[in-house]
Every structure is written in structure tokens, then in C-alpha cells.
Amino acid sequence: MKKTVRIILLTLSLAMFAWFIQRTGWDDIRGTFEQLEIHGWFGLVVLIPYTIVFTIDTIGWRFTFGSTALKGIPFYVTWIIRLVGESINNVIPTMYVGGEAAKIYLLKRHNVTIITATSAAVRSKTAQSVAQSTFVAMGAVVAAFTLPTEQVVMKWAFAGMAVIGFTVMALLFKIQKHGMFTTILGWARKLGFKLQSLVSKEEKIRELDDQIYDFYNRDKRHFCWCTVTYLIGWMFDTLEIMVVAYLLDAEVAWHHAFAMEAFISIARGFNTLVPGALGIQEFGVVGLFTIFGYGPELGTKYAIIRRGRDVVFASFGWFAFYLGEATWKGMRRDIQEAESE
């Protein structure tokens, strides 16, 4: 069933992306990048906002390990490890053979245990989810107050999304604090589902939950800093929209950029199911630019440049992966070792 859903989503996303390319046309795509070329080397400034965001997120990621696990590992090393992991996630959107496994594998080379890296990965995803839910809720509030009064339906829709965002944030925090995996396993049993793959590893799951529980209750400072840092990273993403608009001789109000980025982040979340949220991100960007009154043309140009930025960073990540002599065989071996421990 899960495989079927993935295939359907992948097919739909590829169809959406193909339609986006066909609708835009290669001439317009080339013309968008030519607009950046007018600025010469200054055009590369479009890469700066995401570089800042990625650096902020790396700081947040380090917080999820607590105060000692990454001691002695330089910041630039963890920056590169995250780049490798996120680049792989953009192509292979799965937990076990994707970016998270790559991060765990590369951290092991620096004497970080697999269980520590795995629990940090879960804490990181949860902190990111809490921060993103907060960001989406904030963006929805901004949208509800700044959209024109005639867009009554959209204003109420965004107000509803704000409520949902804050509710999800609270729910995620509560579940994670009380043991996310054992909670899910308990719910599955009550509903009559037989998850043999999880039941057979229940002791390891409880150990993972214990580490996460300790992090929340004994190291609250790092958890708070981690979540706040991720939230700052999400908010800084707003800068990219404004920079790109400026280079394209357009102007986007900061509060609109803030609200649009909040909902673009939802589209980006589909990269866990579809490589790079291909097609979904483009449609989301164009739709949001249209809703906020900037038109599909500017939205299309921004979507093209944003996808180009994704390709640039992913290329550097994959290059670093192979430059570090990392191998899929080594990753699979470490995963198998972790499962047998």
C-alpha cells in the first residue's frame, strides 16, 4: 500500500513538473537566468540567503546532540555532513537509504555511536516539525491580517491554518516528550495493526525513546535552543524571496514574503515522499505568488531560480559524499549492524 502511494505521488509530481516546464517554455526558463546574468557575479547573491539558513540549521542540528556528543568535531565538518544528507534526501526520499542514514554513517566515522546519531536524527526532525508548525501558524496569522479585505474566504482559510499549526506544534511536543515510538506502537496495537518489524525491535525502540526523553527533560536548554534556532532558520528563508525579486526588478513586501515562505515550507515537506518535492514546490510557489497579488509570472521565475539553487547545493553535497569516499555498501553495512545490535 505504502509503495503504491509513493508511486502515485511520484507520477503525479512528475506530471506536474512536466506541465510546469511545458507551460513555462525553455525560452522563458533561459530568460530568467539571463536576467540574473545581467548583474554579473552579483547575481550569485541568490545563493547567500540559503547558505545563511543552512548554517543556522546546522547550529540547530548540533544542539540536538546535547553538549558532549559532537565535542571535538569542527563545525564545518557537521555543515558538510548535513549538506551530504540533505542532498541525498532531495534525490532519495527515504529514511533508511537516504539522507538520515548518510548522516549517521558519516558521524560514525567521527566516533558518534549509531544510537546517539539516530536519536539525534529523531530529535532534530521533531524540533524542525515544532519550529515549522510555529512558522506556518505565524505565516497564516500574517496572511489573514494582510490579505485584501475582499479575499474573505482566503483570510478565514489562513486563520484556520494558524489554529491547526499551533495545535500540531503542541501535539508533536507532547507525543515526543512521552515517547513517540512507544506511543505510536501502543496506538497501532489498540487499532489492531500488527507491526511485526517494530514489535521485534521494541527494546531498541524503548532505548531510543529513553534517550529522547532524557534530552527533553534533562537538557531542556539545548532542546529550546535547537527549536528556536530552526525557527530562526525558517524565518530567514524569507530573505531569499525578497533578494530574488529585487534581482528580477520586482518588489515583494516582507510580510507577504514571510507568509509565502511559511506555506512553501509545507510543499518542501513532500520531499519525504517525492524527490525534491518536484512539481509540488513549483505549483505551490506559483499559486502563492498569485494569491498574494504578485502574479504567476514572478512566481514562475522565482520557482525556476529556487529549483536552480536546489540543484547547485545538491551537486555540492553529492560531490562531497563521493569525495569523502563514502559508499552505499558502507551505509548498508552500518544500518545492518545497527539493526542487529
Q: Mind listing the pLDDT tens digit for each residue in 138-155?
A: 988 888 888 877 777 777
Name which residue leads in pLDDT, 230 or 115: 230
- Is 131 within 8 Å of 234 (Cβ atoms)? yes
Where residue 96 falls among pLDDT bands split at 50, 70, 90?
Answer: very low
- Is 274 within 8 Å of 10 (Cβ atoms)? yes
Where residue 230 falls among pLDDT bands split at 50, 70, 90?
Answer: very high
DSSP secondary structure of 283-315? HHHHHHHHHTTSHHHHHHHHHHHHHHHHHHHHH
Residues 6+ apart with CB under 8 A from 295: 289
> How confident is the model at residue 54, as a pLDDT?
95
Show me where the domains of the chain are located: 2-340
pTM exceeding 0.85? no
| Average pLDDT of every residue of the chain | 79
Of 18-27, 166-175, 289-298, least confident by mean pLDDT is: 166-175
Where residue 120 falls among pLDDT bands split at 50, 70, 90?
Answer: confident
Name which residue leads in pLDDT, 270 or 293: 293
pLDDT at 272 over 50: yes
CA–CA separation, 285 and 131 (whole Å): 21
Q: Which of 283, 276, 274 minimizes the C-alpha distance to 6?
A: 274
> How confident is the model at residue 14, as a pLDDT?
73
> How confident is the model at residue 49, as a pLDDT?
92
Share of the chain above pLDDT 70, in %: 73
- 3-class DSSP assignment, residue 251: coil
The tally of CA atoms less than 13 A away on the side-chain side of residue 321 is: 25
